[in-house]
Structure 1
Amino acid sequence: MRDTRAGPPFSSPQALPCHRTGDPKSRDFIILLAPGFIHPQKPGRRYFCPYGNQIEGALASNPGLASRITVKRISFLRPRAEVVAPLGPDNQGLPVPHPR
């Protein structure tokens, strides 16, 4: 049984709290670390961001949601120009919703 206290499921555009319009230019945008990155100080192993993995799982299991959000996956290495430009060099942690 679904818990109705949490609000409606994300099954329609109206149910998405971040939904704006169908216009691709006004879609929500999130920046994630590319999965399976190699940490420069720990070569030979692949790593995954646990927070990004949760978002990747939500997007993979809900194609309707994935089709309404623009996702950019970037390298682990810093500086992360895609994040520094809008948020500054002190805020490079990911995932982060990208301000438009």
Structure 2
Amino acid sequence: MGRHRVAVGEPWTGDDQDHNDRCHARWRASLNRSTAQADYRDEWYDAQCGGCGFWIALSGELGRDYGVCSNPGSSLDGRVRFEHDGCESFAGRADGSFG
């Protein structure tokens, strides 16, 4: 497995495509809800993580699709989540924004 090299004293930005692709594959495997599931309910479509007030996007390229749940009432609190995933503790943003 290749390693992303970072200059001493510089933070790693996460902008390594190979690394990000591997993360995406691993993290997608832990989806709570997938729109591809036969039992995916219509009302879940508007209650996806990326539209939740407790969703905090990651920085760098991974932040385009992933964030961390910070909802203390959610079983997913503190876990990296795909922006189109969701949970029963969804709290929509007052401004209706997404991502």
Q: Same fold (TM over 0.5)?
A: no
TM-score by length of 2: 0.31
TM-score by length of 1: 0.30
Which of the pair has more CA radius of gyration? 1
